[in-house]
Amino acid sequence: MFKEKVSIYPHPSALLEPSRNSVLFLLFKVAFSSLIEEARFHSFSGDGYRQLQVDTEFLKYMIPHYISSDCNLEGVDACSSLLNLLSDTMAAIGERCTDEASLVESDDVLIDSLDTVRAFAERVNAGEENAEKFVINDD
């Protein structure tokens, strides 16, 4: 109820700021809203729900690597808007999950998902993973 509403598509006459942050913000908004709409057309098993939980936690972890945390676009904080869209995605997927036991255990699933993403981040920071595949550098 108190989440900020994110307009996905800019007005046709609006000019897009030619910066990495604004282009990626628009791209992520369109992709995440498409994911929400696609999730509404399907049903998900418990395993599918858990996999998408890990995927969204990974995306939440990676957003600050793509868009500056102090970036304000269209009058809103870009990172928090994208995080809200990902939360809406998980809500839509949860509504379409056929395995109610997975939803009851959603706190455990969330903790497992966060642990999976943290383990990945630790491997990346230790140099075990090829971080260049996921992080866009300014160079």
Q: Is 74 left (phi over 0), alpha (psi -120 to 50) or beta?
A: left
Question: Strands, DSSP E only, in 56-116?
Answer: 72-73, 76-77
pLDDT in tens, the chain (139 residues): 455 666 666 666 677 778 888 888 889 989 999 988 988 888 888 888 888 888 898 898 888 888 887 878 777 788 888 999 998 888 888 888 887 766 665 566 667 778 877 887 777 777 665 655 665 555 4
Q: Which pLDDT belongs to residue 132?
A: 57
The CA–CA distances, whole Å, from 100 to 49, 92, 106, 134 equal: 11, 14, 10, 33
Q: Is residue 3 part of a domain?
A: no
The 10 Å CB-count burial string (b at 16+, else e) for 73-110 is beebbbbebbbbbbebbbebbbeebebeebeebbeebb
Q: Which pLDDT belongs to residue 1?
A: 45
Q: Is residue 118 part of a domain?
A: yes
Range of the domain at 111: 20-130
**Amino acid identity for residue 134 in this structure:** F
Q: Which pLDDT belongs to residue 70?
A: 82
Q: Is residue 72 part of a domain?
A: yes
pTM for the model stands at 0.74
Q: Which pLDDT belongs to residue 53?
A: 86
Q: Which pLDDT belongs to residue 137?
A: 56
Q: Is residue 96 part of a domain?
A: yes
109, 49 in Cβ contact below 8 A?
yes
- Closest C-alpha among 5, 89, 26, 16 to residue 53: 89
Total domain count, the chain: 1
Strand pairing class (72-73; 76-77): antiparallel
Q: Is residue 69 part of a domain?
A: yes
Q: Is residue 1 part of a domain?
A: no
Q: Rounded distance, CA 88 to CA 92, Å?
A: 6
Q: Is residue 137 part of a domain?
A: no
